[in-house]
Structure 1
Amino acid sequence: MLRRVKTLLAALIVLCALAVAAAYLPVPYLVASPGLALNTLGDNSEGDPVIHIEGTEEYRHDGGLSMVTVQYAGGPDARLNILSVIGAWLSPTQAVLPEAALFPPDRSIEDVTESQTLAMDDSQTTATAAAFNELGIDYGLRPLVAGVEKGAPADGELEQGDVILEVDGEPVEDKTEAAERVGDRDPGDRVELTVDRAEEKGADETALELTTEEGDEGNAVIGIMIADDPDFPFEVEFQVGDIGGPSAGMMFALGIMDRLDPDGLTGGEQVAGTGTIDTEGKVGGVSGVAQKMVSARDLGAEYFLVAEESCAQTFESAAAGDLEVFKVAELSDAVRALKAIKTGEGLSDLPRCEPGQAG
């Protein structure tokens, strides 16, 4: 009997040890928590304007148009243990998601970081274009080399970031015209390009002559991807620090519009929001809305603008307080909401997210 008791106690000790060890084993999950809130009308932590416009008069107003973020704990190089994950799952302000949602197994951490940085840069450009379109400010487009196919005629000759100025000695104004000019010949024919190369690459204008090859549709190609790069009449600078992703696009656009408006958009009210934006002003859905609403509440915002596509997420935030949440599908919807917030008129008529709405 004594031997059985000793065996049972030993087994229990081993099981307890295994349970404790298992609790501290790393697991492939991430924890999303409320992150930084940054007023696009104000200054960053270093005292620099979050948005600064050069080349035209800009204005500064009271109030806030704040971008809100999510911070993530965990990841392939810093995995959490199961106890931390369970604690986050029980928290009203945090969320648990699979590691692969942010770090796909076929991509390195460096790739993900670079992608997020590029997405932030792109969101600033598209936000500027959207704001200018909404304000009726004209700007041009330049055909930009967005990628070069390996082994193609352009490989080793053109570089990502080159702006195509001329094709066969004739100026081109956008990506469509550049592609048509290059393709207006038989495969195997020569094409002359003049490109504007970034100063850090050692030159300004560079002349090239390439031999085309046959593309998938039988047309003449040189193996490049071309994008329209906006040529704005004045410069918009952003200082947001080490933040990535595209979800601040809508708030950037509104911040730019406020900077260019003598009267401002908010009337001194504190407004936060989240949503991507394209050059035409369409506001797109984002993730982490529940955590972003908590950040907005902690900032002192009374109103929250959210992409219509993300409406469903607004009901996941039990800790967002008394935020008034308005849904927007276009930049013009956000402007309309700000006008109602500023004047106090028509607030009850603004569209809100409804329970069960897809998003």
Structure 2
Amino acid sequence: MTALLVLLGLVAVGAVVPAPVVALGPGPTFDTLGDVDGTPVVSAEGLPTYPTEGHLNMTTVGVTDGVSTLRALGMWASGDYRLAPRYTLYQPGMSVEQVTAENQVEFDGSIANAEAAALTYLGLPTRVTVGALTDGSPSAGVLEAGDEIRAVAGSPVTSVQGLLDALARVRPDEPLELTIVRDGGAPRDVSVTPRGHPDDPDRAFLGITPATSPADGQRLSITLGDVGGPSAGLMFSLALVDKLTPDPLTGGRFVAGTGTVTPEGDVGPISGIRFKMLRAQEVGAQTFLVPAANCAEAAAEAPGGLQLVRVGTLGEAVDALETLDRGGTPASCG
């Protein structure tokens, strides 16, 4: 009887006491060509847009926190979830709100990169703008998000890399003249005194996130609430390319995928690809775009019947979809 009471007590404790883990599994998926709550996920103003077909679904990893020990064991035993130490996602001393805010910053960065990659791929005119200001930025009160930066110390800048190259020649703690345009007004000069960069005191730090934006009078918009992290960049870029070019990319297919993207269009690796593939197949995807660096992992864990396509750049992803539309076979992870 005593042993039974002890066992029941352990079960009761295990049913209510949170385990020091999080459960990772398939998360929500969204069609980047569609709408969420009546708002297009991807849209453009001041640019010609065209009808699209099929699906270009971005995929996510679901994170379940605060699970009891017994539930965690059950989720692990199901094979649909993986358990990870909680501190790998929620660092000691950080609140859930702080982690969520960091994920949102990464997501906002992925949106900026996706827009830049699409504009670069399509060869559209662009401007260098202030995407955001960091906390405690030395540019606060002088620059604002959305400002166009046309010159640094009198030297014109036409790309984010050009801005970074110009700043590499600047010394910290010395006033720097920038030529900016705000809200479509006339160009004007402002002065900012950069500080030393947190990672390199000898490098000038303006405390801004530069962005590549479309020409004046044009606007790209990517809107998707309650999603964080950088791994939707590739699918956002593809949706923009699809909407800004005459021929539908998917040919009516249900395509899903994942991958970070740089402003230059390079596709980077992500985590949790197994869960993303499972959810993609569950909702009806026929083809899944896989970052080249994730191909070996994806091939080993892909659900049967899901076509894996290897992509290393935005251009390769577009070419792969066009190849599928012609009845060809794009590069595979298999």
Q: Is the 8 A contact 1:189 1:212 kept in 2?
A: yes
Distance 1:86 1:175, change over 3 A: same
Q: Mean Cα displacement is larger for which, 174-183 or 252-261? A: 174-183
Aligned match for 2:28, one of 30, 36, 42: 36
TM superposition shift of 1:50: 1.3
TM superposition shift of 1:43: 1.5
Q: Is the 8 A contact 1:127 1:253 kept in 2?
A: yes
2:229 equivalent to 1:254:
no
Q: Is the 8 A contact 2:122 2:241 kept in 1?
A: yes
Residue type of the alignment partner of 1:47: G
TM superposition shift of 1:250: 0.6
- Structure ID, larger Rg: 1
Q: Is the 8 A contact 1:188 1:220 kept in 2?
A: no
Aligned residues between the structures: 327
TM superposition shift of 1:317: 4.2
1:97 equivalent in structure 2: 84
Q: Is the 8 A contact 2:133 2:140 kept in 1?
A: no
Q: Deviations for 1:298-344, whole angstroms, at most 9, x for unmatched residues?
A: 221111111122224325646x3411111211112211220122121
TM normalised by structure 2 equals: 0.83
1:1-359 matches, cutoff 5 A: 9-44=1-36, 46-74=37-65, 79-142=66-129, 146-147=133-134, 154=138, 158=142, 161=145, 163=147, 174-176=162-164, 179=167, 182-183=170-171, 191-192=176-177, 224-233=206-215, 234-315=218-299, 317=301, 320-345=303-328, 347=329, 350-354=330-334
Q: Deviations for 1:79-129, whole angstroms, at most 9, x for unmatched residues?
A: 211111111112233222221221122433222111111111111111111
Q: Mean Cα displacement is larger for which, 261-270 or 331-340? A: 331-340
Distance 1:10 1:112, change over 3 A: same
TM normalised by structure 1 equals: 0.78
User: Any stretches of 5+ residues in structure 1 without a counterpart?
Assistant: 1-8, 355-359
Q: Give the whole-Å Cα distance in 2 for the aligned partners of 1:316 and 1:28.
A: 29
Q: Give the whole-Å Cα distance in 2 for the aligned partners of 1:136 and 1:236.
A: 15
Residue type of the alignment partner of 2:19: V
Q: Mean Cα displacement is larger for which, 291-300 or 272-281? A: 291-300
User: Any stretches of 5+ residues in structure 2 without a counterpart?
Assistant: none
Residue type of the alignment partner of 1:28: P
The residue matched to 1:110 in structure 2 has which SS? helix
Q: Give the whole-Å Cα distance in 2 for the aligned partners of 1:51 and 1:60.
A: 13
Distance 1:83 1:257, change over 3 A: same
Q: Give the whole-Å Cα distance in 1 for the aligned partners of 2:222 and 2:200.
A: 41
Residue type of the alignment partner of 2:213: D
Distance 1:353 1:177, change over 3 A: closer
Percent identical among aligned pairs is: 34
Q: Give the whole-Å Cα distance in 2 for the aligned partners of 1:177 and 1:52.
A: 32
The residue matched to 2:35 in structure 1 has which SS? coil
TM superposition shift of 1:134: 1.7
CA RMSD of aligned residues (A): 3.5
1:6 equivalent in structure 2: none
Residue type of the alignment partner of 1:41: L
Q: Give the whole-Å Cα distance in 2 for the aligned partners of 1:85 and 1:56.
A: 49
Distance 1:353 1:198, change over 3 A: same
Q: Is the 8 A contact 2:128 2:157 kept in 1?
A: no
